[in-house]
Amino acid sequence: MKASNSGWWRGGVIYQIYPRSYADSNGDGIGDLRGITRRLDHVAALGVDGIWLSPFFKSPMKDFGYDISDYRDVDPLFGSRDDLKALIDRAHALGLKVMIDQVYSHTSDQHPWFVESRSSRDNPRADWYVWAPAKDDGTPPNNWLSVFGGSAWQWDTRRRQYYLHNFLTSQPDLNFHHPQVRQAVLDSVKFWLDFGVDGYRLDVVNFYFHDRQLRDNPARGEPDGADPAVPAANPYGWQWHRHDKSQPENLGFLQRLRSLLDEYPDTTMVGEIGDDDGLARVAEYTGGGDKLHMAYCFDLLGTPHDAPYLHRVLTRFGQVVGSGWPCWAVSNHDVVRVATRWGGAQPAPELLRLVAALQLSLRGTPCLYQGDELGLPEAEVAYEDLQDPYGIAMWPEFKGRDGCRTPMPWDSQAADLGFGSGTGRPWLPLEPRHRALAVDRQLADPGSLLHHYRRLLAWRRGQPALLHGEMDLLPSHPQVLAFVRRQAGERVLCAFNLSERPCGYGLPEGLAVARVLDESGVQGAGLAGAGLRFEPFGGLFARLA
């Protein structure tokens, strides 16, 4: 029986928490569930609707939790199931939904399933992973590449076969063509729904199935480095990934997954999609109301961000979206922080305010990453302090993901920025520049970025057009991105100068501003005759006549 769903996620705001780096309750230098629980008041005061917790499950931590060895238990580093239950109860008391991060494309090589699978070619789980014989010359079965560099195939001496790993060699891929694998995954999903979670963030959701025939991917040639999901130094971008992911069988499994979630009230799923045409996959995976509720890709997670680029992204999405629903993120645990990616070494405060306004006015569900509300720049992490295997492998051209994962700064006066008890060295070094941006300092400053986010989120709640309305892009402009959100006869103009230069902007014929919505807190723009004028990085919300 299908349960009721309030649709809280549709236009709601999600806040991503990276547990290792949020708050440390026991002084061991690693953030944990109790630490998160103690800091949930900050999230609730921000005005978001739910949290997404990056993985906290049992893991050897080769990829810091994205290599799970037990889907149904909490790693002792982060606490216990009781700690998770206390976190969920506290979040619910504060009006926050709790989404957990599940990694079903692959497991750790220490997962009991893989330990059994690799033990022989005829054990009960022999086909639970993707195994294939070598070619006649001993080389891997095909040309597929790992996201983390090199072949996606690893030789195993026990079975004298190769196994597929789209990421680290210690992250073997599950074989979703096997019905028992699919059922085991669904059983894991049900376990945590029964436990009380409100939904899931699904890691690399388009990687579940592979081409049964193991056909080679076609060559793409050396890319120009513009793909926001793949660093230029990574050979992964030299292929069109036609056969190793985004297979048609995935849609049927997502429908089964949605049917399961629909048995539980007010639940939701957001999928991460890395694909040659991410926007098309978002539309495909979220359309029809029978698969994912929402999904995000990497189009806003790269360096390009000027007005013409964003206009092209939103134009493309408008062409393919149909009934789909996007989740828009401009930062997360996998990419350089937006303050640095879009703002450079010295990001303008006005730009960071504009980024918030832009993200929170797009049609879809915004997802904020911890520290976005503080304007944290990317941390500088020395090679000897790196933890990320991706960065270690590709140094120095690509420094990995540690720079966006350093501890959250809570207390500007504390030696460890209030991250923990101060007795343990944090797992990643503190960033000195974050001290001046700590939560306590920004709370004391009514003009801070943190208060800007709070005011903007509170104002947005009263704007139905921004929560649920359709979006009409206005013509492309060299500096200004502008669009209209409309709902039930109400039309809100959203316009942003993504340039450090002032400019004018002529409104298209038939559009006239009735009132500038100054209460939004967005500044740096105003009326100029029949058009608009913008200061550098100025923005404007206005009610149209």
In the residue annotation, 378 being an active-site residue is answered as no
Q: How many CB atoms lie under 10 A from the CB of residue 300?
A: 26
Output phi, psi for 281, to 5 deg: -70, -40
Q: What are phi and psi of 484, to 5 degrees?
A: -115, 130
Q: Which of 101, 203, 275, 402 is catalytic?
A: 203
Task: Please indicate whether residue 263 is annotated as part of the active site.
Answer: yes
* Residues forming a β-bridge with 50: 14, 97
Cβ neighbours for 13, distance < 8 A, ≥ 6 positions apart: 47, 48, 49, 50, 360, 365, 366, 367, 368, 457, 460
CA distance 497 to 532: 11
Distance CA 128, CA 428 (A): 35
Q: Which string of b and e fits 27-65 if b means at least 16 CB within 10 Å?
A: ebbbbbbbbbbebbebbbebbbbbbbbbbbbbbebbbbb
Residue type, 450: L
Contact (CB, 8 A) for 32 and 79:
yes
C-alpha 483, offset from chain centre: 24
Distance CA 510, CA 493 (A): 13
Active-site hit among 82, 89, 263, 518: 263
Active site amino acids: 203, 263
